[in-house]
Structure 1
Amino acid sequence: MSENDFDFLHGRWRVAHRKIADIPGRGTEWVEFETDGEARPVLGGAANVDTIRAADWEGLTLRQYDPVDGVWRIWWASTRAPGRLDPPLEGRFTDGHGVFFGDDVVGGHEVKLRFDWTAGAEPVWEQRFSYDGGETWETNWVMRFTRA
């Protein structure tokens, strides 16, 4: 694990999304859509920023490596929640698989979040929510990246 863990993500992407339309645990309708994305290193490579553009919204992710603690922290913001920077998730990579955890409030409910990153030529990101303190996890968003 190092500040180079997310180097696989640098560049331009076409992103296929599969996402639960409602708040997880309260809906089962999945929607599928595509976006354009781009990721680049910043802060001398110790961090990276990516943007995802859909027809009706835009999102931004900041990831920063902490060499003292040996972890990455990930923050998310989007035009769907103007003025809000979500609380960070924290985690690390092991053998090309990154796991990151955090806490948030979604739809008025406290929730634990988990991001899973699978590195490679066609990376995959998955988001899971837990409403029971991490005992069970519900996948609610999957993104598959293909080079643009």
Structure 2
Amino acid sequence: MSGFDDFDFLVGEWSITNEFLRGRLVGSTDWETFPATSRVEKVMPIPGGGFGGNLDQMFIPVRDFTGMTLRLHNPETGLWSIYWSDTKSFRLFPPTVGRFVDGRGEFFGDDVEGGQNVRVRFLWTAGASPRWEQSFSTDDGQSWELNWVMKFERVAG
């Protein structure tokens, strides 16, 4: 895979198992597991064929919120920008930017967590059972704290 089709593995409907670190950047080892569902579709048709991105809507009724991810591909740089928003914050978070190499995507960005500046890393594993991981670093990427994992299972039909 390369370019515009990097996230094609994710198009469709999914059941998701979330594993969420309850206390971020405080040395916590207490994880919470909760379900979600998502629907991913290609967006922004390109004249001549293909799509410029995809849109993911995630539904998390047990945590009483929904989220949305917009992923946009830049053909000039070969990089993806991933933007997140949800009904807890009602804001568009700063993007993570990166690419896929051999079915594994690595994306980086900057944000603030609990008043601290953090480096954010998303790791995507493509395939029939995709996996997404989010980690934060407070030392500019020298060390990472894994704080959210999503395991995807395709909804039949």
- TM-score by length of structure 1 reads 0.96
State the Cα deviation string for residues 91-143 of structure 1 (Å, max 9, x = none): 00000000000000111110000000000001000001001111001111000
SS of 2:9's equivalent?
Answer: helix
CA distance in 1, matches of 2:110, 2:120: 6
Structure 2 partner of 1:130 = 137
Query: Which among 123, 133, 149 is matched to residue 142 of structure 1?
Result: 149
CA distance in 2, matches of 1:111, 1:35: 26
Percent of aligned pairs with the same amino acid: 45
CA distance in 2, matches of 1:26, 1:121: 33
Structure 2 partner of 1:119 = 126
Q: Specify the structure having the higher radius of gyration (Cα).
A: 2
**2:98 corresponds to 1:91:** yes
**2:46 corresponds to 1:38:** no
Instruction: After TM superposition, give the deviation of residue 26 of structure 1 in Å.
Output: 4.7
Judge which range, 24-33 or 65-74, deviates more: 24-33
Structure 2 partner of 1:16 = 17
**Which residues of structure 2 form unaligned runs of 5+?**
46-50
State the Cα deviation string for residues 9-62 of structure 1 (Å, max 9, x = none): 000000000010122335331100000111000001110000111110100000
Instruction: After TM superposition, give the deviation of residue 80 of structure 1 in Å.
Output: 1.0
Equivalent pairs, count: 147
Structure 2 partner of 1:48 = 54
Structure 2 partner of 1:5 = 6
SS of 2:139's equivalent?
Answer: coil
Structure 1 partner of 2:48 = none
**Which residues of structure 1 form unaligned runs of 5+?**
none
CA distance in 1, matches of 2:32, 2:25: 13
CA distance in 2, matches of 1:137, 1:23: 11
CA distance in 2, matches of 1:34, 1:51: 14
SS of 2:5's equivalent?
Answer: coil
